[in-house]
Amino acid sequence: MKQVMERAALAAARAIMAIHSAGPDVQYKPDSSPVTEADEEAERLILAALGQHFPAIPVVAEEAVAAGNIPDISGGLFFLVDPLDGTKEFIAGRAEFTVNIALIRDGAPIAGIVLAPALSCGFVAVENRAERFTVTSDFSVGERQSIGCRDRGKALTAVASRSHDTPETARFLDDHGIDACTAIGSSLKFCLVAEGLADVYPRFSRTMEWDTAAGDAVLRASGGETHTLDGAPLAYGKRNQAHDADFANPNFIAAGTGWSANVSAVAD
């Protein structure tokens, strides 16, 4: 599983960086979110790789869903794919975009990869073990290092969305006495918490499951947690939601150790 996810993500990364160098052609989907040929080509490569090695496991992929192609996931085991998370960062010429692939079982992310091609690094989680790895110039895996969340201390650091700052985020930081907050794009926010460089990632604006699943898998394998504001673990495979679209996430708190007791207080 790890080898297939890594190879698929690296192939997608190679295609993305070729388009990044040439300059992407930006289009807009019906929901006004941007999409480029990099999103589409990366998704095609990932779907081909997953289909070849795991033909029995359905894949929920961002661009396919946008086109109305949603597989049957009632069996409880499926992949979630965001071929280019942080498209706005990609278009703006920033380096904080990622390739995200996650495996979901019974609502929980049990494996995943987050690959940041412009930063030459990635994060992978399989069987409750999380690693950070480097990406070489020929798009192969270089050095690997095991990672884990740090214990909660007195001086706390948060990470937050670069493109979706909210008053609720500012309130959360103030309520918890957090002065240090780094704004960064894509699912790298989960990974900074997972490798012990930050303590918490509060999210009070809309995300979709393919945005979060891979980073969440890395975080959980690193000893962290992702909870909704009522204290429940963030679940995946949400269909037929009364107040939102399929696969849309509620607000959540992603954090290292020692935060679960505080999550419910955020909702008050």
pLDDT average per 10 residues of sequence, the chain (268 residues): 97 94 79 82 97 98 95 97 90 90 98 97 96 97 96 88 82 91 92 96 95 98 96 96 95 85 44
Q: pLDDT at position 268, please?
A: 41
In sequence order, which ranges of the chain are alpha helices (DSSP H)?
2-22, 37-53, 62-66, 87-92, 167-175, 188-194, 209-221, 260-266
Cα-flanking dihedrals φ and ψ of residue 216, to 5°? -65, -40
Predicted structure pTM score: 0.93
Q: For CA atoms 160, 161, 164, 165, give the dihedral sign.
A: positive
| Residue found by looking up tokens 């999380």 in the block | 130
Q: pLDDT at position 264, please?
A: 44
Contact 262, 234 (CB under 8 A): no
Contact 159, 201 (CB under 8 A): yes
Contact 180, 157 (CB under 8 A): yes
Q: Percentage of the chain with pLDDT > 70?
A: 95
Query: Can you tell me the distance from the alpha carbon of 27 to that of 169, in angstroms, rounded to the nearest whole number?
Result: 30
Query: DSSP labels for 100-142?
Result: EEEEEETTEEEEEEEEEGGGTEEEEEETTEEEEEEE-TTS-EE
Q: Could you give the maximum distance between any two Cα atoms of the chain, in Å?
A: 50
Q: SS3 for 94?
A: coil
Q: pLDDT at position 185, please?
A: 84
* Single-letter residue type at 156: L
- What confidence tens digit (pLDDT) does each residue in 147-185 have? 999 988 888 999 998 767 789 999 999 998 898 999 898
Q: pLDDT at position 28, please?
A: 81
Q: In this structure, what DSSP letter does residue 231 have?
A: S
Cα-flanking dihedrals φ and ψ of residue 196, to 5°? 80, 20
